[in-house]
Amino acid sequence: MSVATQLRSPIQPSSETRAILGPAGNRDRVSEEQKRKKEGFKKPKKLVSETPQAVVQKSVSVDSLCTSSDSSCSGSSAKNVRSKRRVKNTDLKPAKIVPDGVESVKISPIVPIEIKRCDWITANSDPLYTTFHDEEWGVPVHDDRKLFELLVLSQALAEHTWPAILTKRDTFRKLFDNFEPSSIAKFTEKKLLILGGNHNTLLSEQKFRAIVENANQLLKVQQEYGSFNNYCWHFLDHKPVRNGFRYARHVPSKTPKSELISKDLMRRGFCCVGPTVVYSFMQVAGMVNDHILNCFRYNDCNSNVKNDLKPKFGEIEVPAEAVESRHLSHD
């Protein structure tokens, strides 16, 4: 080949392309490309959009409602998820997780139960008066000292009400030596004058003298009957009378039985013991149960009576039903 032919042949490009001159010079640009070739340039992976866990939980809860046979479930679940995304966080409620095989139980809210009492106890009644109704009134009493105290308080009902008397009850106990009959029977005339002049007791001098006189007569009854308890309860064959009134207005102020006891007490020398006073005494001492039928204390006061309503005459046991009917007909 001639020299001219060699000169006309195209110039073969070099294996290395010339780097384009960059703004900071060609030297820095070439060094960066070489580093990339040496380290091995890797294409960035496609970014996969990760769904938030909250959205997944919502979609799972929606999909769980669908069965495998429902073809339209996938479309409806997607719509539900989109609609739930628009709901504010304040409206979201945590999912209730129930184990498999266990049925969910709806717990009803606790509703306070209103206690029903006798009509003469209202929401505005004195708490002391309410406690007296719930714990004492109508409960059978068999202690002589307590029976005498209740008789004195029943006598005061002729001039005052139970709430007023109960507020002065501690004062009465201090003045009358805790209603011990043997101690009251020894009160002198001087002490009676002092007690009669004390206006904080709510009692008149006549009532004080009646209390002292009744204490003396009670001591005589104890000698004859062994106790004042035996005397009071023998009028009822030692069994309380259970009345069954539906309303407080049906409760009487006196009965033939209270009139009988009143006459016997006055015959023995007791003072201020009329039929109305005696019946109030019988009520508070539990000799009669005058709680109305829907009062919660009616059954409570009768709970201890069933065992007593089975007296035995010789070896024959009388049925409790027969004895109950007999006592209910007393008054």
Q: Using DSSP, how many helices (H) and how many strands (E) does the chain show?
A: 16, 4
What digits encode the pLDDT tens for the residues 267-294? 999 999 999 999 999 999 999 999 999 9
Band of pLDDT at residue 7, cut at 50, 70 and 90 = very low
Rounded to whole angstroms, the Cα distance separating 317 from 322 reads 11
**pLDDT at residue 62 above 50?**
no
Asked if residue 331 has pLDDT above 50, the reply is no
Residue 115 has a pLDDT of 83
* pLDDT over 60 at 1, yes or no: no
> Which pLDDT belongs to residue 307?
44
Residue 30 pLDDT class (50, 70, 90 cuts): low
DSSP string, 31-65: HHHHHHHHH---PPPPPPPPPPHHHHHHHHHHHTT
Kindly report the backbone phi and psi dihedral angles of residue 165, in degrees, each rounded to the nearest multiple of 5, phi listed first. -70, -40
Q: Which of 94-108, 128-142, 270-284 has the lowest mean pLDDT?
A: 94-108
What would the pLDDT profile of 224-243 be if each residue is shown by its tens digit? 999 999 999 999 999 999 99
Higher pLDDT, 216 or 28: 216
Reported confidence tier of residue 63, pLDDT bands at 50, 70, 90: very low
Query: Does the annotation list 295 as a binding residue?
Result: yes
Calculate the average pLDDT of the chain: 74
In this prediction, residue 217 carries a pLDDT of 97
Partnered with residue 241 across adjacent β-strands are: 288
Averaged pLDDT for residues 87-115: 58
Closest Cα partner for 218 from 275, 168, 152, 284?
A: 152
The pair phi, psi for residue 241, each rounded to 5°, is -90, 130
Instruction: Tell me, rounded to whole angstroms, the distance of Cα 132 from its chain centroid.
Output: 19
Q: What is the pTM of this model?
A: 0.60
What integer pLDDT is reported at residue 60 of this predicted model? 45
- The answer to whether 271 is annotated as binding is no
181, 152, 178: which is closest to 284 by C-alpha? 152
